[in-house]
Amino acid sequence: MADLPEPDRATESTRRVASRALLVALAVYVGYAALALVPEPVGSVRHAVLVAAFYFLPGLVLRRDPARQARYQVGPDSPLPPWSKRGSRLAFLACLLMFPPFVAGFLWFYAKVCAGDLSWLAPVVWVESFTPLHGGLERFFADLCVRHGGDVIPDQLRVPEHWRVFAGFGWVYELAVGLFAVALPEEVFHRGYLMSAFEERWPAKRRLLGVPFGFAAVLSSLVFAVGHLVAMAAIARLATFFPALVFAWLWRKSNSLWAPALFHTASNLLMDVLIESTFPK
């Protein structure tokens, strides 16, 4: 395991780098929201613009600082991080360890919620009542649970219909899109750039399972979760905060953005299967 690099000694410099990273994240998401107001066909390309911003903005902002580019894995030679076998192995191991309990928890949770038991969500519903999103969480579950079969374990395993196109190889296309147009650019930006910049400003003082882990990981995960509200203003989207903490841990454990990117991709694909199986159309 690679420890965190020694933070720069210039306090003003690390403060400026962290503040600029937060402003860049804010600008990206405000710009993404603004593109939704643009008439078609320009508005339809906003996801492509977001992906490009995630890949290229960190290296552009740090273009005069190749040392940080390399340390954050956002350049200087390519917006893609260098491939890492260690990172891929760690992602695979994380899937083996975390997916079984997650699947069990997912099925149990929705069986309870769709049976009308919202007691676990009471604190979240209470907080939501003070926001413009009041009632959104209950509506979200109501719409979803219409399709729930009532059993804890689905009657059969289903895959999304679009996975079956291209003679049954649609899942390959979804895997490529999920990795290179969703997970990897999000990890480059939020873990590679944002979290690394925050870590220089607020170095981790504690370890989590042997990995330096602190305020920077939490704050970057929060920004990641809040950013998801831009695409869909539903408080349920804030749940992405929790997997983001896992992505942050994998990034720091492996010192490779491929570890969280591959785990992120696998998690999204798993969710597609779970949603399709638990809430069949």
Structure tokens at 23: 């402003």
Residue 7 confidence (pLDDT) = 44
> What residues does each domain of the chain span?
11-278
Alpha-helix runs per DSSP H in 5-134: 11-35, 46-61, 66-72, 85-114, 122-128
Residue 10 confidence (pLDDT) = 43
Percent of the chain residues past pLDDT 90, beyond the cut: 65
Tell me, letter by letter, the H, E, C secondary structure of 189-236. Answer: HHHHHHHHHHHHHCCCCCEECCEECCHHHHHHHHHHHHHHHHHCCCHH
Cβ 25 vs Cβ 223: under 8 Å = yes
Question: In sequence order, what are the residues at sequence separation of 6 or more whose Cβ sits closer than 8 angstroms to the Cβ of residue 14?
Answer: 7, 8, 200, 201
pLDDT tens profile 42-55: 666 889 999 999 99
Cβ 204 vs Cβ 4: under 8 Å = yes
pTM, two decimals, is 0.91
Q: Please state, in angstroms and rounded to a whole number, the distance separating the CA atoms of residues 74 and 193.
A: 7
Q: Please state, in angstroms and rounded to a whole number, the distance separating the CA atoms of residues 259 and 261.
A: 6
pLDDT tens profile 113-129: 998 888 888 888 888 88
Q: Please state, in angstroms and rounded to a whole number, the distance separating the CA atoms of residues 46 and 27.
A: 14
H or E, element range at 263: helix 258-278
